[in-house]
Amino acid sequence: MQGLAEHEKLADRVKITQKDLEQDGFSKNPFFHSIIAEVPEYHKTKEGHTKIGYALYFYSYSSWKGRAIYMEDLYVMPEFRGKGIGKALMRKVAQVTGPGCRLNFTILNWNKSSLDFYPNQGCFDVKADLGYHYMICEGEVLQHVAQP
Amino acid sequence: MQGLAEHEKLADRVKITQKDLEQDGFSKNPFFHSIIAEVPEYHKTKEGHTKIGYALYFYSYSSWKGRAIYMEDLYVMPEFRGKGIGKALMRKVAQVTGPGCRLNFTILNWNKSSLDFYPNQGCFDVKADLGYHYMICEGEVLQHVAQP
């Protein structure tokens, strides 16, 4: 999370603690769910990390379209990018989402690689349409993303 | 919901059915929560409605700040506006939210009365700040909104 915030040039915004995360994500009714990307020991980073990426999501709801999943974070450490790990994480989230359910997320304005990548996958920016700034992935596009 | 979509000039976007809503909102682990504003029989609309406004929200999560509530809808029928009903609904949602938890929502670009109203209450637009288009209500402002 700290890595993602640094990438977003907003590291000082992270106020959450490990205790908050343990409490909120690993209780009986968790506030969020997460998927972790892990590499074998022999690929670990020079700092010794084997957990090198993650996606964090929660269930949300649209009063027009019903059930949705909001993907809050998708992050891969810089040295592991370009290997399809981000795509694999997103695929897992799309698999949870299921048919008829939307997958929403937000992109920072200046994040050019994301602004190129997601529309290429078929996701669309609601902003262009309605004045919001949400990215939406649904229907066939979502099924496509979910495919192993 | 149909009334809100009409107000947003997007009535044709509503794809959800009564059955979806019953299933998703009134099961053991509901996907959303709602607060309904109701008037006594003698104030009912000419169509016979006594339920004249609602707020719909669900729990969301920020990986920087933790627990949050996302207010998906806040609606009051036109003839009942200007009486503080919207404010009362928002107050109830803010009370659920609790201290240390954020309240987020989105405003349409052209909705001038909302764009005036919410910043006046102390809510701020993350867009100006980060490139998102979320409204956020937290801390003392949220406590203030929550006060009866």
Instruction: Tell me, yes or no, if B75 is annotated catalytic.
Output: no
Q: Mean pLDDT throughout B10-29?
A: 87
Q: Locate the domains of chain A by residue range.
A: 2-105
pLDDT at B135 over 70: no
Q: Greater confidence, A133 or B99?
A: B99
Confidence of residue A140 (pLDDT cuts 50, 70, 90): low
Range in A22-26, A96-100, A125-129, B6-10 the model is least confident about: A125-129
Confidence of residue B127 (pLDDT cuts 50, 70, 90): low
pLDDT at B134 over 70: no
Token pair recorded at residue B69: 């509530």
Q: Mean pLDDT throughout A118-128?
A: 69
Q: Of 3.30.2130.10, 3.40.630.30, 3.40.50.1820, 3.30.1370.60, which CATH number belongs to B2-105? A: 3.40.630.30
Predicted local confidence at residue B126, as pLDDT = 64
What residues of B are in contact with residue A4 (Cβ under 8 Å)? 63
H/E stretch holding A35:
strand A33-38
Smallest CA–CA distance, residue B42 to chain A, in Å, is 29
Q: Return all residues near A46 (Cβ < 8 A) that are at least 6 apart.
A: none
Contact assessment for residue B64 and residue A15, using Cβ atoms and an 8 Å cutoff? yes
ipTM above 0.90, yes or no: no
- What are the tens digits of pLDDT across the range A46-92? 999 999 999 999 988 888 878 888 888 989 999 999 998 988 888 88
Predicted local confidence at residue A133, as pLDDT = 38
Distances (CA, A) of A146 to A58, A70, A99, A139, B50: 17, 15, 10, 11, 44
Q: How many CB contacts within 8 angstroms connect chain A with chain B?
A: 101
